[in-house]
Amino acid sequence: MKKYVAEGIGTFWLVLGGCGSAVLAASFPELGIGFLGVALAFGLTVLTMAYAIGHISGCHLNPAVSIGLWAGGRFPSKELVPYIMAQIIGGTIAAGVLFFIANGHPGFDVNGGFASNGYGEHSPGGYSLAAALVTEIVMTMMFLLVILGSTDKRAPQGMAPLAIGLSLTLIHLISIPVTNTSVNPARSTATAIFVGDWAMSQLWLFWVAPIIGALIAAVIYRYIGSSED
């Protein structure tokens, strides 16, 4: 149970830190952190949790990561569903805490998005469903390639959290305008629950695309990471 609790806590921190920065600080008058700050916040949540709980649970914090590691032969099948459940629960609790805090401001309106992911009219930049789908697939694929490569036994030891955290920051810098960046079904589900309506109706994409991207990455790394020529 300890590893599942650790995954829940880690995903709680990712959603609270990443989505919290977007909801509470991104456009704060005069001192708003903007896209760059939000991207950095997401990267820092993964970086800090990787050092805090990586030795306990592996610090997946993301159903797509768990699925990608499983497909890559790095994670047992029997733990896949419990990990995903722990991630969704942890993320949803964090979204609840964030919702409570945000409601303390008189101008708060959850219909403004609550850092939810979307496409079409709900994309920050108005990007289409097709653009959102490709973005989420490719970004998740690259994220998993970084994870699989940096955690390989042949990679420099102790540096994986930095590589993974910085890659997530870079992913957000690229894709916040397109989808508000998911690459993580648990993160998308957590905020969509509180928005409801359009966020729930578009949530399918933020499960399907990251999982496809993770599976593609697993296939690629099984090939390029193999010791055989």
Delimit the domains of the chain by residue range.
2-224
Nearest to 173 by CA among 188, 183, 160, 186: 183
Residue 225 has a pLDDT of 84
C-alpha to C-alpha distance for 122 and 119, rounded to whole angstroms: 5
C-alpha to C-alpha distance for 64 and 57, rounded to whole angstroms: 15
Residue 229 has a pLDDT of 55
**Long-range CB contacts for residues 34-37, cutoff 8 Å, separation at least 24:** 35/172, 35/173, 35/176, 35/177, 36/173
Residue 157 has a pLDDT of 85
Nearest to 20 by CA among 95, 93, 87: 95
Q: Which residues of 127-141 are buried (b: 16+ CB within 10 A; e: fewer)?
A: beeebbbebbbbbbb
Q: Tell me the average confidence (pLDDT) per consecutive run of 10 residues in the chain, 229 residues long.
A: 96 96 85 90 96 94 97 94 97 96 90 91 96 98 96 88 96 96 97 94 98 97 80
Q: For the residues of 100-112, what is the DSSP string, one character each?
A: HHHTTSTT--GGG
Q: What is the pTM of this model?
A: 0.93
CATH number 3.40.50.80 given to 2-224: no
CB atoms within 10 A of CB 190: 31
